[in-house]
A and B are shown apart, each in its own frame.
Chain A
Amino acid sequence: MANYSTNEFRSGLKVMFEKEPCSILENEFVKPGKGQAFSRVKLRNLKTGRVLEKTFKSGESLEAADVMDTDMQYLYNDGDFWYFMEPQTFEQHQADEKAVGEASQWLREQDVCVVTLYNGAPLSVTPPNHVDLEILETDPGLRGDTATGGTKPAILSTGAVIKVPLFLEQNEVVRVDTRTGEYLGRAKD
């Protein structure tokens, strides 16, 4: 793979750091009036999600990471693996629990996700920001209660548990923000 020097570090660049694939979040050029320049860099470890703050001498380089974000359709889960398909090539990829992680609770068959491939294998899965999911189980709805702002827990078809307003019923389809787990409203259609 290619190497990137500190002056090529940009937000979003994928590099290897301590043998782990990382994404550069920020790169700040620091240069004392009398002294060597250096770069203060924020990196996110793409495996653990942890953010690191490191300082590199100007001109140091890091190896590029073979990391690619690809849109894929989620197919199914066989109990051990989650299967995704590239829509153009129909190529299928299996992702393990580590790669899918928290995303599993938002995955609905046929939905298009971003699968991050590292050396060709799924490293992480990012669900769509908004998903429409059916309520499997919740307390009976309090008809007409749209004003008090109270909430109750609801179990969704994917197993996710979110808070919904009191007036919602079982089998209704709701829209959820997968980044926060927040209820956004009833699904439009």
Chain B
Amino acid sequence: MEGEWRAAIDRPTLEYRAHVMQTMRTFLSSRGVLEVDVPALGRHAVTDPHIDSIATGDFSSEGFLQSSPEFYMKRLLASGSGDIFSLGKAFRAGETGPRHNVEFTLLEWYRVDWDEHQLMAELADLVTHLWPEVGSLTLSYGEAFEQHVQINPHTASLTQLRLAAVAQGAERWHDASRANCLDVLFNLCVEPLLPRGLVFLYDYPACQAGLSQLYQNREGQQVSRRFEVYLNNLELANGYFELTDAVEQRRRFDDDLAARIASDKPPVAQDERLLQALEAGLPSCAGVALGVDRLIMQLLEIPTIDLTMPFNWARR
């Protein structure tokens, strides 16, 4: 089509994009967080059964475009880097839509000896630099879920969750996993009703721990020290009080691989160097990854992600 060589965004949007990235760099650098650039083309793909990495090249340039800089950053932390951030590209195969672009810009940072609540506060500070009037609300995942679904996500039986999902129009969810039921209920019943501004949800269900540590909350429920950040109802960032135990990390890799096999996905090799780094000692830390394009979407009230970047997936 005519004009498709052109950038999809105008000069003011380009300037705003540059301003956002500059603000991030200045904000974190001034707080003593060191910028690092790690490989975008790595040796391994992530094991996460819901993320498909893009494989590249033949034997001479074999690898995977990284779906996040997490593993390299953890190897840096274990190497003694101290607090670090990365502002760069990440890639996830098959993810295109109004809120997804296969290649996207991710800000990820780690704070040594911090917990997830300190990191949430820092993220709120960063967003406030870009949007001074933004409101902020912090509550546990369980509170948010119970308020809108009237079910306790940590103690409900799997049958109860499946029935609730099916009642919400989720087709063929009668055999869905606990995590899938929670995801669909959250998306249909909770996400649209979150207040505008920043919403921090912490203490995620144990079955959705990702690479965060588990603990018992005050109600005696086993939950994960994972948090999610929403900005005007859009998922913006995901963070952990990071798992540092190599044995537990290996178990989660094994669980991921079993889940991949169960859903006919190609198996992926575990990143042995990450495991070695954890064995050598990853310092206690909290880390978070924030979608930069999505942040720009919300700050400029742009309806779809493809209009936040100069050359989106369709126009590349």
Contact = CB atoms under 8 A, between A and B. Distances in A.
A53 B169 contact: yes
B180 A57 contact: yes
Chain B residues touching A, range: 20 to 34
Contacts of B57: none
B48 A34 contact: yes
Contact of B210 (A34, A38, A40): A34
A185 to B, nearest CB: 38
A39 B94 CA distance: 13
Interface in B178-193: 179-180, 183-184, 186-188
B235 A55 contact: no
Interface in A25-73: 28-38, 40, 52-57, 60
Interface string B73-104: 00000000000000000000011111010000
Contact of A56 (B95, B172, B187): B172
Given A34-B48, A34-B210, A54 B179 contact: no
B168 interface: yes
Interface residues of A, number: 20
B183 A36 contact: yes
Contacts of A54: 169-171
B66 interface: no
B183 A32 contact: yes
Contacts of A35: 50, 179-180, 183, 208
Contact of B98 (A28, A32, A38): A28
B193 to A, nearest CB: 16
Nearest to B52: A37
Interface in B124-168: 168
B108 interface: no
B169 A28 contact: no
Contacts of A33: 228, 235, 238
* Interface core residue of A37, A55, A57 (most chain B CB under 10 Å): A55
Given A28-B97, A29-B97, A34 B208 contact: yes
B240 to A, nearest CB: 10
A38 B183 CA distance: 10
B169 to A, nearest CB: 5
A55 B169 contact: yes
Nearest to A55: B170
Given A32-B183, A35-B183, A55 B97 contact: no
A34 B50 contact: yes
A64 to B, nearest CB: 17
B171 A60 contact: yes
A32 B235 contact: yes
Contacts of A36: 49-50, 179-180, 183
Given A36-B50, A36-B183, A37-B50, A31 B100 contact: yes
Contacts of B176: 57
Interface string B38-72: 00000000001110000000000000000000000
A18 to B, nearest CB: 9
A55 B165 CA distance: 9
A60 to B, nearest CB: 6
Contacts of A30: 97, 187
B50 A29 contact: no
A27 to B, nearest CB: 9
Interface centre among B50, B180, B226, B238 (most CB of A within 10 A): B50
Contacts of B50: 31, 34-37
A56 B171 contact: yes
A15 to B, nearest CB: 12
A29 B96 contact: yes
Interface in A119-173: none
A104 to B, nearest CB: 33
A40 to B, nearest CB: 8
A131 to B, nearest CB: 37
A31 B183 CA distance: 9
Nearest to A17: B171
A38 B168 CA distance: 14
Most chain B CB within 10 A, of A28, A35, A37, A57, is at A35
A8 to B, nearest CB: 13
A55 to B, nearest CB: 4
Nearest to B259: A36
13 contacts: A29-B95, A29-B96, A29-B97, A30-B187, A31-B95, A33-B228, A37-B95, A38-B170, A38-B187, A40-B188, A54-B170, A55-B168, A55-B171
Interface of B: 48-50, 94-98, 100, 168-173, 176, 179-180, 183-184, 186-188, 208, 210, 226, 228, 235, 238
